Structure 1
């Protein structure tokens, strides 16, 4: 640890410019680090960048010395499967490996889980992966700050299965036109 923030390094945090939600999250995080670690505010340098510049800064090809220590980034699952987070985002060979994580035992489990056909065994593999990433001894390659939710009101004349992950499938919506015209 860093008692009273002794020997705690200067931290650069890059965030998306003109984003009130990220600005609030960054302010909250820094306030907590000050409170919990006892660090002065000047230990944390916040750099606001437009989207293209932020992506360039955190690109796997960016020079390590030029990269921020932390950065804000959003990810919404493209499909309802644990591999979308653990494989597509955190796997050491993922195309979006901005973390530059070296390949380890956890990555072997990701590859194994990705192709496992037995649901219970696959679930157990993903539990092991999550434990290695986010358990008490985990490396915490990312810090999830929030999960967005959307309240949805539905009319009785509209039937559909709401998307759990990714975008809505409007092509699968079914409208009972007679019921709609009949009113409430």
Structure 2
């Protein structure tokens, strides 16, 4: 059964706040009132993962301007996240919080735990009410494009502000939305 449209379950996990260089605790309560992106990835000190996290960092200020917080999540500990941050040129640029999920709590709740015991490449968009609005899961050997997350956040925010409207394929914030109705049946 899909998690889209469901409220995120309670969780409380240790994390590394890379912007402020400190350990913090992140819970479902921290998501309230803002848009949230969870970016799950298999493991620290790997190959595709740093390219994805660095790409997300390049879009982080845009996401922040859209009232959106980003959390990366893997089954590594928050201590390993700190070590990776301190030893990787790409990861040292990060300003968002890196959640450690070694007990696989959140990873299992969001159904992105792979058979290998590592998180799959899952991207979740959660609205300010804690409702999951979008899920994308990629195979382990294919990285994601963070610019698409920005587009999805803008679309979700538009839809929240314009009930009854829908965003067609390739919708951009300056694009035209559709209002479903009898007049559109068979005409698109």
Please give the range of the TM-score, normalised by the shorter of the 2 chains.
under 0.3
- Which structure has more RCO (C-alpha within 8 Å, separation ≥ 6)? 2
- Radius of gyration: which is bigger? 1
Structure 2 length-normalised TM: 0.25
- The structure with the largest strand share of the pair is 2
Structure 1 length-normalised TM: 0.25
